[in-house]
Structures are given as structure tokens and as C-alpha cells.
Amino acid sequence: MKKKKFIIIGVLAVVVLAVLGGIWSLTHSKEEKKTSHYETTVAQKALPLTMSGNVSPKEVRSFMVTKKNLAQMEVKDGQKVTNGQVLYTTYNQANASELDELKVTLAKYQRAKTTANQKLQDARNTLNKMQSSDEGYSEAKDAVASANDEVADATDSINATQRKIDQVSQEVSPNSVAPFDGDVAVKYDDNGNAKVTVSSSALQMVTTVSEYDYAKVKAGDSVTVSAVATGKKQEATITLVDAHPTTTNATNGSKYKVYADLDTKNFIDGQTIKAKVAQAGIIIAKSCVRQGKVYVVEDGKVTSQAITGKEVDGQYIVTAGLTAGQKVVSNPDGDLKEGEQLP
């Protein structure tokens, strides 16, 4: 009888434990079901805008000269030049002919002045021999004045002609000079005509930005430029973002050139480079934002935080109210409560 009693008690204990276990399991299952559909993500610092491009001279200037007009080439292909250095001299036949005519004209005016000076001297001698009361004195005085005018006219003509000669002389064999320090390329075509190109020693970054990223970069922004081949880097400043596109494509959109000055110690002309422009803000998925707030999970507890920012390309750029590394609920809804426990 006693043994039977223990058996009954044992069975009842098992039943009670089973019931309690079922209740706990059901409760836990409901709680898990209540919270398990919420997902979390970690807020990330906005990725930099990355662009590809090349190193190029900051300035390039080309000069064309025909074989007929080229008098002397003063530089060689590949030579380094300095600002103001003579590249070549030319000869202009038309200006040379004009110069010869001007020299003839100058000689004529010089002879006229010599004659006028002699005439003036004779008139003065005649006037000096006369008294003011003498007959013909007035005419002699007028002769001196007239001779003076002739000398003055001849002098003016000589000066004007000399100025013209000075100008045309420079145009007969003018020099073309380097507009800045750099390297020279000299190329001749089949007819002997020359093209002289000066590429500046100063270098610059030239990259392109798409119309979709155009607002992410502007003149004055800092940019990290790195040479793909050597890995050398430089922190530079963007000097210009073109207002007009370099290329336009119906599929890929428009591309705009972006420039920044580079140090010649780190880069060489033609190198392939990568450029990165830091972007402000924190990036989260658009779905993380509900009614101007995000739900931050810290120590397993949900806390709502008001944020400011804007949607960009399906993401949300947070400018205030959130820091990188914070865990936020990526699918908040109306059932999510302040202080709710989440793993």
C-alpha cells in the first residue's frame, strides 16, 4: 500500500513537471515569436566617393609654324624649357618687304629735314642782318617761321616712321617663347611644318564624376590621391569640378571632369590614380527610419532616438542623432516598444 502511494505521487510529480514545462515552453515561444522578427544592423560611416583617373600636365600649349615661316628651331624634342625661353624664330616676307619700304621712307624724311634745317639757317641769317624797320623784314620773319614748321614736320615724320620700323622689325623675325616651365615635344609633318607642344612641369589629377555623384564633390574639398602602380599618396585639394559634361551617354549618364594639383615628387605624367573624397554622415538602410526616429539596441534594450538626414539612392544619410557603430533595428514597426528587450 505504501509502495503504491509512492508510485502515485511520482506519477503526479511527473505530470506537474510536464504541465509546468509546457506552460514555460508556450510562454517562451510566444515571447520569442513576439521579438524574433526584428532584425538589427550596425550604422556605418559614409563611404568615401571613389573616382578613377590619370595624372596629366596642368597646362599644355601648342604652337604651329610652317616651313616657309620657320627661320630657326631653338629647342629639341624632349628638352626641358623655362618660362620665357625661346622655342623658335620665324621669318615673315611680307613684313620684311614692309620694313624695306619704311627704311626708304625714313631716309626721305631725313633728307627733307636736312634741307629744312639748311633753309631755316639761311632764313635766320637773312633776318639777323635786317632791322625791324627795314623793308622786307616782315617777310624775312615769316620765312624763319615757315622753315621752323618744315623742320618740325620732318621731325614728326621721322619719329613716326622710326616707331613703325621698330614694330615691324620685331614682326619680321619674331620669337615664340615657352609660356611656362615644362617639357617640349617637336614634331614635323611630311611638308616640314612644325608643331611645338609645351607641357607644364606642374601636374594635376584628372578624374571624372558621374551626374549621380556630382553633388558629392566640389572645389575646395580634400581628396586623397594614390598612384595605382606605386601606391604613393597625397592629400590634395580639388581645384575645379567642370560645370559641363565631358561625355554624355543615354545609358550611363553624363561625366564631369574633376581636377586637383599634385606634387611632382609623388606622381608622373600619365599615371593611373584613384581618388577618394570623404563623405559626411552615417549610413543606414532607409527601412531603419520610422517617423523621424531610429531604434537603437544597447545592452539588449530598445531606445528610440530622433535623427536628421536625408534619403539618397535608397539609403538614409544621418547627419545628426546617430554615431557609427551603434546597433539599430532595421525593420521597426508600430508594435516595437521603448525599452523592449532584443538580443
Given a cut of 90, is residue 240 above it in pLDDT? Answer: yes
DSSP letter at 290 equals B
Q: How confident is the model at residue 33 (pLDDT cuts 50, 70, 90)?
A: very low
Q: How confident is the model at residue 214 (pLDDT cuts 50, 70, 90)?
A: very high
The winner for highest mean pLDDT among 43-47, 164-168, 172-176 is: 43-47
Average pLDDT over residues 307-327: 90
pLDDT at 116: 86
CATH number corresponding to 280-343: 2.40.420.20
Written as nine digits, the cell of 144 is 624763319
DSSP letter at 85 equals -
Annotated domain spans of the chain: 50-58+202-277, 60-83+179-201, 92-172, 280-343
Q: How confident is the model at residue 32 (pLDDT cuts 50, 70, 90)?
A: very low
pLDDT at 94: 79
168 vs 28: which has the higher pLDDT? 168
Average pLDDT over residues 299-322: 90
20 vs 79: which has the higher pLDDT? 79
Written as nine digits, the cell of 227 is 598612384
Where b means 16+ CB within 10 Å and e means fewer, 211-229 reads eebbebbeeebebebbbee
Average pLDDT over residues 13-38: 55
Average pLDDT over residues 104-119: 91
Per CATH, which fold does 50-58+202-277 belong to? Elongation Factor Tu (Ef-tu); domain 3 (2.40.30)
pTM over 0.95: no
Written as nine digits, the cell of 73 is 628651331
What share of the chain has pLDDT > 70, as a percent? Answer: 89
Asked whether this chain's domains 50-58+202-277 and 280-343 adopt the same fold, the reply is no
**DSSP letter string over 241-286?**
E-SS-SEEETTTEEEEEEEEEE-TTT--TT-EEEEEE---SEEEEG
Q: How confident is the model at residue 37 (pLDDT cuts 50, 70, 90)?
A: confident
Written as nine digits, the cell of 174 is 619674331
pLDDT at 114: 92
Given a cut of 90, is residue 187 above it in pLDDT? Answer: yes
pLDDT at 125: 87
Q: Average pLDDT, whole number, for the chain? A: 87
Closest CA to 199 of 186, 190, 189, 215: 186
Given a cut of 50, is residue 35 above it in pLDDT? Answer: no
Asked if 262 and 225 touch (Cβ cutoff 8 Å), the reply is yes
Q: What are the distances in angstroms from CA 182 to CA 76, 229, 298?
A: 13, 24, 60
Give residue-wise pLDDT tens across range 133-154. 778 888 888 888 888 899 899 8
**What is the rounded CA–CA span in Å between residue 98 and residue 71?**
18
Given a cut of 60, is residue 181 above it in pLDDT? Answer: yes
Parallel, antiparallel or unpaired: strands 272-277 and 222-227: antiparallel
**What is the rounded CA–CA span in Å between residue 247 and residue 240?**
17
Give residue-wise pLDDT tens across range 150-171. 989 989 999 999 998 888 777 7
Average pLDDT over residues 228-247: 96
Given a cut of 70, is residue 123 above it in pLDDT? Answer: yes
